[in-house]
Structure 1
Amino acid sequence: MQIVAEAGKLTKAGKDIVLMCVGQPGAPAPSPAREAATKAIAVGKIGYTDAAGIGPLRQRIALYYQERYGVSVNPDCIFVTTGSSAGFSLSFLSAFDPGDRVVIPSPGYPAYRNILKSLSLVPVEIETTADSDWVISPEMLIEEHQKMPVDGVLIANPNNPNGTMMTPEDFERLVKVCKEHSITLISDEIYHGLTYDKREVTALEFDDDLFVINSFSKYFCMTGWRIGWMIVPENMVETIERLQQNNFICAPEISQIAALAAFDGLDEMEEVKQGYLSNRKYVLEELKAIGISEIQPIDGAFYAYFNVSGLLNTTGCNDSMQLANRILHEAGVALTPGIDFDSKRGGDWMRLSFACEESQLIEGFSRLKNWLKEIA
């Protein structure tokens, strides 16, 4: 995340930088969440909660799954976490032993491999391609398992950095493959709610002997509140509870109170989503206008992941990292190099976040176009 850090330094130094590099919503948390937190602060009694989280929030999350997916979830299997990051750590710690092999997608969220490595686990990156619609297919998982047995697989649906999604049918087949081969499945669903062309499904529609990770950060625009949740197999409840107690104690109570109220702001969040939909259309048009022809399918989330091989030739840059640095310092626009998400092929790719206001996108593309004219 070198570009993000450098953009931060330039901003602090007074430089005007258009930030299209960070996966952070530009909209605030839903008003009911902010109001509930304000009232709780006024009362002043904010402390520890049960390790699993406050009961009303866990029950409301269970109701959410019934309402949204038609799936019954036992609230006892729901743990409120300090963002999705804690959920990943807890699932890895509980499900695997040192040396276990865990499949992750490439391109994919870099924290997956970093957390796995920090826990002495082995990330096994499967390269997705256009032929697989940029997702890990059941066949690809089987092929990897036959080469050398794997112990787990982490699927992000929609995926970061590209927003690609599995079809419900392929997702169901992948869940069955995991069941048949005793592969632990961890389903990253933090971008649920932010899908456009394909129907989103939770892994729990197909089985409950798996881990689901979700968050209030993306759809609910609550990144800084550090609040998420995980749904775990019934036989893992006691283990997760102990790990939560010893690693995190509990998620912040003030954030839990706000998260509970956030469910009363779903209409606000749908309005925000409509803004993303408009931004998505604009970004696709503008990328094509500057000569970008290969863009991975944006089925969900709020990212565009696109091939910059042509721009590398035009600018004389060696890879997307060098290109991103030049764009940052010469055009004042921050984009994320694909190397962050794919160490082998990412040099030809770049990610743009359209979670910001439309005015920022307009300014950002104006600067990009002017810069390209200047160096032509």
Structure 2
Amino acid sequence: MDILKKAREIPDAVHLEIGEPDLEPPPEVIERLNLAIAQKRFNYTPALGLWELRERIAKHYWDYYKVDVNPSRIVITTGTSSAFLVAYSMLMEVGDSVALADPSYPCYKNFAYLLGIKPVFVDVDESTNYQITPEHLWDKDIKAVHISSPSNPTGTLYTEENLRALCEYCREKDIYLISDEIYHGLVYERKERTVLEFWDRAIVINGFSKFFCMPGFRIGWMILPEELIRPAEIVMQNTYICAPTLSQYSALGAFDYEYLSKVRETFRKRRDVLYEGIKDIFLVFAKPEGAFYIWADIGRYSEDSYEFCMKVLKDAKVAITPGVDFGKNKTNRFVRFAYTRKEEELRLAVERLKEYLT
């Protein structure tokens, strides 16, 4: 956030630090929003969300993954952030532990700290394509494992084999598996797999902020085993009542697969532009398979990713995120690029970086 704040003070900075899509949502989202306003849909919805939207998401799971999900198992949340808090508060008590990858999205550990839960960090690297595997977990006393695929910050995708293995491990150990699938849809060479294909008791969290290009709508969902629906409802009623009503009605128009395929292709092209531009000036151990991030090693230039990002912003006018934001596992040697800007801006950033670094 320090980088973002300073970058906003530089009028011609290229912003590659923000993990927020710059594309518009599917057109029907806006149509549904305007219709909901015209119909004065301003009241609370049920805490678990509009039944119509829960049904539509269930249809999405059949259309996209060929997975049959009962709409009653789908609960609508205020973005994925509230979903993580609800899940953690239901599944774990104060003092329990959750396994998290290092590096990973920094808010996971902060949600845990907020609830008095202990994050147990699993060092991951290119040897497992930045995935947690059962071999990482055998000696850890944990109540849950929390994964993300594709990952922020690495853009790597969990394999079918590893998802199966993790499901089997969690089933045998009687611990929970939470899968953050917010970047599903933004996968470029192979098909992403939802963990529900391998274990229907896994907990899936997803939302409309990334693939559906609706970050400010603050709308997400969670898929739960039947016995957790009522506990989730109680938590949700007492924390935020319900997800934003207008956003729920708007999200009914989000599943325009023809439009979304164009979103995916836009980000694929951007990935290729940025990856080809920086792979010779930084070490990139894992070409991103999804999301919109590149995790790059800056060791040939610096061992302090925060200081490096500050210098690059000041001298090259390119804003990138220091790796130390995502954990402690060699993250002082890494930075994260977000390809959430137009191709011409990405090329400009590459030109500036090459000029500055060489």
Same fold (TM over 0.5): yes
Letter of the structure 2 residue corresponding to residue 309 of structure 1 = G
Normalization by structure 2: what TM-score? 0.97
The structure carrying a bigger helix percent of its residues is 1
In structure 1, the residue matched to 2:285 is: 295
Letter of the structure 2 residue corresponding to residue 340 of structure 1 = D
In structure 1, the residue matched to 2:91 is: 95
Normalization by structure 1: what TM-score? 0.93
1:322 aligned residue (307, 330, 353)? 307
Letter of the structure 1 residue corresponding to residue 351 of structure 2 = S
Instruction: Tell me, in whole angstroms, the C-alpha distance in 2 between the residues paired with 1:4 and 1:123.
Output: 27
Q: Does residue 1:304 correspond to 2:294, yes or no?
A: yes
In structure 2, the residue matched to 1:6 is: 6
Instruction: Tell me, in whole angstroms, the C-alpha distance in 2 between the residues paired with 1:102 and 1:45.
Output: 39
Instruction: Tell me, in whole angstroms, the C-alpha distance in 1 between the residues paired with 2:33 and 2:251.
Output: 9
In structure 1, the residue matched to 2:253 is: 261
Deviates more, 1:96-105 or 1:340-349: 340-349
1:152 aligned residue (144, 149, 164)? 144
Residues 100-179 of structure 1 aligned to structure 2 (within 5 Å): 100-142=96-138, 144-145=139-140, 149-179=141-171
Q: Deviations over 1:142-161 (max 9, x none)?
A: 2x33xxx2111101011100
Instruction: Tell me, in whole angstroms, the C-alpha distance in 1 between the residues paired with 2:77 and 2:5.
Output: 26
In structure 1, the residue matched to 2:41 is: 45
Q: Does residue 1:223 correspond to 2:215, yes or no?
A: yes
Q: Does residue 1:358 correspond to 2:343, yes or no?
A: yes
Letter of the structure 2 residue corresponding to residue 270 of structure 1 = S
Instruction: Tell me, in whole angstroms, the C-alpha distance in 2 between the residues paired with 1:185 and 1:288.
Output: 34
Contact 2:103–2:329 under 8 Å retained in 1: no
Over the aligned positions, Cα root-mean-square deviation in angstroms equals: 1.3
In structure 1, the residue matched to 2:320 is: 335
Instruction: Tell me, in whole angstroms, the C-alpha distance in 1 between the residues paired with 2:84 and 2:112.
Output: 9
In structure 2, the residue matched to 1:368 is: 353
Contact 1:165–1:198 under 8 Å retained in 2: no
In structure 2, the residue matched to 1:33 is: 29
* 3-state SS, counterpart of residue 347 of structure 1: helix
Contact 1:295–1:304 under 8 Å retained in 2: no
Deviates more, 1:279-288 or 1:246-255: 279-288
Q: Does residue 1:62 correspond to 2:58, yes or no?
A: yes
Instruction: Tell me, in whole angstroms, the C-alpha distance in 1 between the residues paired with 2:284 and 2:268.
Output: 20
* 3-state SS, counterpart of residue 311 of structure 1: coil
Identity between Structure 1 and Structure 2 (%): 38
How far 1:343 sits from its partner (Å)? 2.1
Letter of the structure 2 residue corresponding to residue 304 of structure 1 = I
Instruction: Tell me, in whole angstroms, the C-alpha distance in 1 between the residues paired with 2:289 and 2:335.
Output: 17
Q: Deviations over 1:5-64 (max 9, x none)?
A: 3223x15xxx22211011111101111101110122223232200001111100000011
Letter of the structure 2 residue corresponding to residue 80 of structure 1 = I
Gaps of 5+ in 2: none
How far 1:229 sits from its partner (Å)? 0.3
Letter of the structure 1 residue corresponding to residue 7 of structure 2 = A
Contact 1:110–1:341 under 8 Å retained in 2: yes
Deviates more, 1:130-139 or 1:181-190: 130-139
Instruction: Tell me, in whole angstroms, the C-alpha distance in 1 between the residues paired with 2:43 and 2:353.
Output: 48
Q: Does residue 1:181 correspond to 2:177, yes or no?
A: no
In structure 2, the residue matched to 1:315 is: none
In structure 2, the residue matched to 1:276 is: 267
User: How many residues are aligned here?
Assistant: 358
Contact 2:126–2:285 under 8 Å retained in 1: no
How far 1:188 sits from its partner (Å)? 0.4
* 3-state SS, counterpart of residue 324 of structure 1: helix
Residues 191-230 of structure 1 aligned to structure 2 (within 5 Å): 191-230=183-222
Letter of the structure 2 residue corresponding to residue 343 of structure 1 = K
How far 1:107 sits from its partner (Å)? 0.7
